[in-house]
């Protein structure tokens, strides 16, 4: 049996650090008030001329370097983003060219903040099915270009960044041997209005009116989304652990989507996760949408929080509504 295994991780955030004072002043909030609301002290925003594929390249190269392989040797690239360089071609194809990975298949996945695990699932199947021996999974977002600075629900939260993981195929001796044990994907399209960008697609093409009415910015119903996110992700984590016969005490490290500090605290409490087993980067980088989970995972790996053959639990929830979980044995 062939199983996919992550052999290298990487991440990148832009140099520009945006403080709580920068984003909070429009709402009469000081830096500590923003921190109490969000758990964030800084978010990173892309510089002028810096786009999604630029961030993706930096993270992808870091993952390949950690794995000790050349980016040109990968067989497939699956890139998660809802803030691509352009509508088409895909940012994955732009990344493929930048990496010199001329023989790699490349495509984008759009599942909002759940996109990294959706992409991981696709890559896992490519590897297990024998179509790819090495597959780059990348999530990259430049959300700062789609924010309304006068909308407190979004302006305080979002940052830019990219995270990546390199998967390779390896023989597995048993159902719980090292590698990606399972990825579970969920969606509820009836909740599509909770977080979205209304204009710019075929339903509302860009016009002078859509620009004037600010329909090209990210909007979010924070309260309802928060409540659903906690319930759906907590239930999915419980189901994942039950399916694989593990207790939370047996999980060495947990990494969730870095939506905001309150969501992470609520999930930790509801699922009984000890603080030292739940890695977070929300305070320093903000909510980077689908890139947040791989950025945090790379941070945990580089901080020595992930040991060989350790069970690692991943979970995320985002627009669509979409949510997902993954269980790995490192």
The residues annotated as belonging to the active site are 113, 257, 287
Going from the C-alpha of 166 to that of each of 64, 158, 193, 281, the distances in angstroms are 7, 26, 33, 21
Is there a contact between 166 and 7 (Cβ–Cβ < 8 Å)? yes
What are the φ and ψ backbone dihedral angles of 288, each rounded to 5 degrees? -105, 30
What beta strand segments (E) does 203-299 contain? 219-220, 253-256
Is there a contact between 166 and 68 (Cβ–Cβ < 8 Å)? no
221: tokens are 């119903």
What beta strand segments (E) does the chain contain? 2-12, 16-19, 42-45, 76-80, 105-109, 134-142, 160-171, 179-187, 195-196, 219-220, 253-256, 311-318, 322-329
């Amino acid at each position: 049996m062939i199983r996919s295994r992550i052999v290298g991780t990487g991440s990148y955030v832009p140099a520009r650090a945006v403080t709580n004072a920068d984003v909070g002043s429009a709402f009469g909030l000081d830096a500590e008030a923003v921190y109490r609301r969000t758990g964030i002290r800084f978010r990173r925003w892309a510089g002028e001329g810096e786009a999604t594929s630029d961030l993706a390249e930096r993270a992808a190269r870091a993952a390949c370097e950690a794995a000790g392989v050349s980016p040109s040797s990968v067989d497939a690239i699956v890139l998660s983003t809802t803030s691509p360089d352009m509508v088409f071609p895909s940012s994955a194809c732009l990344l493929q060219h930048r990496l010199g990975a001329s023989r790699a298949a490349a495509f984008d996945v759009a599942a909002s903040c759940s996109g990294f695990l959706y992409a991981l699932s696709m890559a896992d199947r490519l590897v297990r099915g024998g179509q790819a021996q090495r597959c780059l999974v990348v999530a990259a977002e430049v959300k700062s270009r789609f924010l309304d600075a006068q909308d407190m629900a979004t302006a305080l939260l979002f940052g830019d960044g990219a995270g990546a993981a390199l998967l390779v195929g390896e023989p597995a001796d048993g159902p719980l041997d090292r590698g990606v044990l399972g990825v579970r994907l969920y969606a509820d399209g009836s909740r599509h209005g909770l977080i979205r960008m209304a204009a710019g697609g075929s339903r509302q093409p860009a016009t002078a009116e859509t620009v004037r009415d600010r329909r090209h910015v990210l909007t979010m119903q924070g309260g309802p989304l928060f409540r659903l996110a906690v319930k759906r992700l907590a239930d999915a984590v419980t189901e994942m652990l039950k399916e694989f016969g593990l207790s939370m005490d047996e999980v060495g490290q947990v990494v969730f989507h870095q939506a905001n500090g309150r969501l992470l605290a609520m999930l930790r409490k509801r699922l009984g996760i000890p603080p030292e087993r739940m890695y977070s980067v929300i305070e320093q980088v903000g909510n980077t949408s689908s890139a947040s989970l791989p950025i945090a995972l790379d941070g945990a790996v580089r901080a020595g929080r992930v040991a060989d053959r350790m069970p690692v639990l991943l979970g995320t929830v985002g627009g669509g509504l979409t949510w997902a979980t993954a269980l790995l044995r490192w």
